[in-house]
Copies of this chain bind each other. A is one copy, B any other.
C-alpha cells in the first residue's frame, strides 16, 4: 500500500540532496512532517528565496546576491593579486586565515574529465579574461592538493604563463605545529624539496 502521493513526491524530491538515498529521504520526510513542520516551512521559503536571489558574482564567480559581491567591491582589497580557489568554502577558509588582501576567482569545481567537468565548467575563459585585464600582477593558485586539484592548478598555470602572467602555487609542507614523526611521507618529501633558505 503506497503512502499519499504528496508524501511520495516529498521523499523523491529530497533525493536531490547530496548523499541522500531512498532510506534517509524517507526518514527526513517523516521527521519534517512529524516533528519539524515549522522548520520545513522555513526550508521551503529559504529554497525559493535563494533560487530567486543567488547568482554568481561577475568578478569572482562566487555566490552573490548582487552583480558584484561585497568582497570584490571593497576598496581595501589589493587588485593586483588574484587567488584562484575551487569553492566558496575554500574562499572562506583563506579569508579566515587573514593572510591575504587580494581578490579571488572561484572555479566552482575542479577539472575532472571523468565527471564531465572540463575547462568550460570551471569558467577558465572568464578567469583568463579577468587575469589578463591588466590590473592583476600575480595569480595565486590555491586549489586543493588532491589529484584533481593539482591537475587543475597545473592546467591553469600553463595557460596563464603562456599569457605572460606571474603564477604561483600555495606551499605544501608540514602543518603548523606538525611533527615529522606524524606527517605522511609524501608531505615530508615535498617539504624537503620545497625547503627555503633559513
Interface residues in chain A, defined as those with a beta carbon under 8 Å from any beta carbon in chain B: 1, 3-7, 9-10, 12-14, 16-19, 24, 26-34, 36-37, 39-54, 62-65, 69-71, 87-89, 92, 95, 108-109
Contacts and interface: CB of A to CB of B under 8 A. Distances in A.
B44 A7 contact: no
Of A12, A16, A42, most buried by chain B (CB within 10 Å of CB) is: A16
Contact of A33 (B6, B27, B45, B63): B63
A99 to B, nearest CB: 14
A44 B48 contact: yes
| Oligomer: number of copies | 2
A28 B25 CA distance: 14
A63 B87 CA distance: 40
A29 B43 CA distance: 11
Contacts of A46: 6, 9-10, 12-14
B65 A26 contact: no
Contacts of A64: 4
Contacts of A28: 17-18
Contacts of A4: 53-54, 63-65, 69
Given A50-B7, A51-B37, A65-B6, A18 B31 contact: yes
29 contacts: A1-B71, A1-B92, A1-B95, A3-B88, A4-B53, A4-B54, A4-B63, A4-B64, A4-B69, A5-B65, A6-B54, A6-B65, A9-B50, A13-B42, A13-B43, A13-B46, A14-B46, A16-B32, A16-B36, A16-B40, A17-B43, A19-B24, A33-B50, A33-B51, A33-B63, A34-B109, A40-B50, A40-B51, A44-B51
